[in-house]
Structure 1
């Protein structure tokens, strides 16, 4: 048995903001992927994955939801027969490792599932997002459902607000000098503690004001520029966003990268922002001249996501 492939995702813009109803833009990232597989003798990562699936099964079996039902007998049988999720998606890196797993389980075991081949109306997209949020909250405590949705559809998704999401197109990549890239912090981040820090900060009126008056406005401007291919304007807005994130999201940026972040803003060689919830994993970088950014960041592992 080998299931279809489900890809990683990158939330280009909108981390944390989407929890509070501002815009977001997520794109599939095909360098990393996962699929359901089976083996008789499990060891190492496969064994761990199988044990995790058994816990996930218990969670789904006790889910009291009118949204979705599963062929639980089949799922239990497959897990007992050595099913695991074989994935190259790094965990705790902000690129949707649990999202791809959730998408694969829904795809194989959900009854009356909404398929990718249907006409995906806004209502169907919202229903899928809700189903995935319910499923993925097993892993994170609270989930927007966006990672699994992105992985399941393998399409860029534009979040206008909680109730308004759409599949979208992004400008095709060019062989230019500019790039969006991943910077490897070489630390694992955990989503739940980071989201808890954010929720506590949201109790502060000044922080809430900053989210709505600065963070959300710069994020929305970045998304608009990116979708329209306004590269010059995009970098101006990414710089503003990078400054706001550095000033207000310090706990989510690993300590060793505060200086690296500041250096990008000072030299304009690159601008950094959070990739997912932060706390470790990948940091997302934007550079008008990727060669320059590579020089500045020569001590770090970089990976290109998109070229301008």
Structure 2
């Protein structure tokens, strides 16, 4: 039986801010994907994945929730038959590796699942998000549920607030000079410690003020500019956002990239922002001239996400 593929995701805007009810915009990233597969010969990565899925199965079996029920017998049987999650999505990189896995498990084993084909009302989206939040908490301690939601629907999602989500139409890509790209920090990032640092910072009144008056303001403006295709305003707001992040979120930026980050702001060749929780993994870049950014960042691995 061929099982569906689930894609990675990129949170273009909204990291950390969505914890505090700013807007967010997440898009599927089709370069990386994962799917459940079965093999008679479990070894290497497949064996490791199968063992991890057993732990996840036990977690799913222990859930007592009105939100969702699972066909646990089938899940267990498939594991015994050599099921594993075959994924090209890098782990700890902020592009939703656990999200794609959660989407796969829901798609295959949830007994009364909401499907992508039905009319996705706000209620259904919120129910899906709450279900995925519960399912993904196994991996991160606390999850918004957005990564699996994005992976499951394979649609851009606009987060207006915690209780207000909608599928978003993003402008189609153009063959322009501008681009959104990923910069590989070549370090693994862990979500939980980064979120803990953020939560500790939130105890500081000055940090909370900066978050609502600067960070959220610029984030919301970036999303509006991006969705409206207003590229000129977008870059001005992304630059402001990049400055705010460099000043206030230093622990989330790997040390080796503080100078690289500042250099983009000084030269205007590119602007960097966090991709997911930070601490490693990918860093998200925006540039009005991708060739120039490639030249400036020639010592690093870049991956193209979107063209303006």
Take 2:44 and 2:195, find their aligned partners in 1: how far apart are those partners?
Answer: 30
Q: What is residue 142 of structure 1 aligned with on the other side? A: 142
Take 1:82 and 1:278, find their aligned partners in 2: how far apart are those partners?
Answer: 34
Take 2:108 and 2:61, find their aligned partners in 1: how far apart are those partners?
Answer: 15
Q: What is residue 277 of structure 1 aligned with on the other side? A: 277
Aligned residues of 1:32 and 1:89 also touching (Cα < 8 A): yes
Take 1:20 and 1:138, find their aligned partners in 2: how far apart are those partners?
Answer: 22
Aligned residues of 1:242 and 1:271 also touching (Cα < 8 A): yes
Q: Deviations over 1:14-70 (max 9, x none)?
A: 001111111000000000000000111111111111111100000010001110000
In structure 2, the residue corresponding to 1:85 is in which secondary structure?
A: strand
Q: What is residue 208 of structure 1 aligned with on the other side? A: 208
Q: What is residue 62 of structure 1 aligned with on the other side? A: 62
Q: What is residue 115 of structure 2 aligned with on the other side? A: 115
In structure 1, the residue corresponding to 2:117 is in which secondary structure?
A: coil
**RMSD of aligned Cα (Å):** 0.6
Q: What is residue 33 of structure 1 aligned with on the other side? A: 33
Q: Which runs of 4+ in 1 moved over 3 A?
A: none
- The answer to whether residue 247 in structure 2 is matched with residue 247 in structure 1 is yes
Q: What is residue 88 of structure 1 aligned with on the other side? A: 88
Q: What is residue 226 of structure 2 aligned with on the other side? A: 226
| TM alignment of 1:1-308, pairs within 5 A | 1-308=1-308
Take 1:207 and 1:249, find their aligned partners in 2: how far apart are those partners?
Answer: 10
Take 2:57 and 2:113, find their aligned partners in 1: how far apart are those partners?
Answer: 18
After TM superposition, give the deviation of residue 229 of structure 1 in Å. Answer: 0.1
In structure 2, the residue corresponding to 1:67 is in which secondary structure?
A: coil
Take 2:86 and 2:2, find their aligned partners in 1: how far apart are those partners?
Answer: 9
Take 2:80 and 2:97, find their aligned partners in 1: how far apart are those partners?
Answer: 22
* Unaligned segments of structure 1, at least 5 residues: none
After TM superposition, give the deviation of residue 2 of structure 1 in Å. Answer: 3.4
After TM superposition, give the deviation of residue 80 of structure 1 in Å. Answer: 1.3
After TM superposition, give the deviation of residue 301 of structure 1 in Å. Answer: 0.3
In structure 2, the residue corresponding to 1:112 is in which secondary structure?
A: coil
Take 1:8 and 1:201, find their aligned partners in 2: how far apart are those partners?
Answer: 29
Take 1:92 and 1:29, find their aligned partners in 2: how far apart are those partners?
Answer: 16
Take 2:149 and 2:190, find their aligned partners in 1: how far apart are those partners?
Answer: 20
Take 2:243 and 2:237, find their aligned partners in 1: how far apart are those partners?
Answer: 10
Q: Deviations over 1:166-224 (max 9, x none)?
A: 00100000000000000000001011111111111111111111111100000000000
Take 1:191 and 1:78, find their aligned partners in 2: how far apart are those partners?
Answer: 30
Take 2:300 and 2:2, find their aligned partners in 1: how far apart are those partners?
Answer: 35
Q: Deviations over 1:57-101 (max 9, x none)?
A: 000100011100000000011111111000000000000000000
Aligned residues of 1:2 and 1:38 also touching (Cα < 8 A): no
After TM superposition, give the deviation of residue 245 of structure 1 in Å. Answer: 0.4
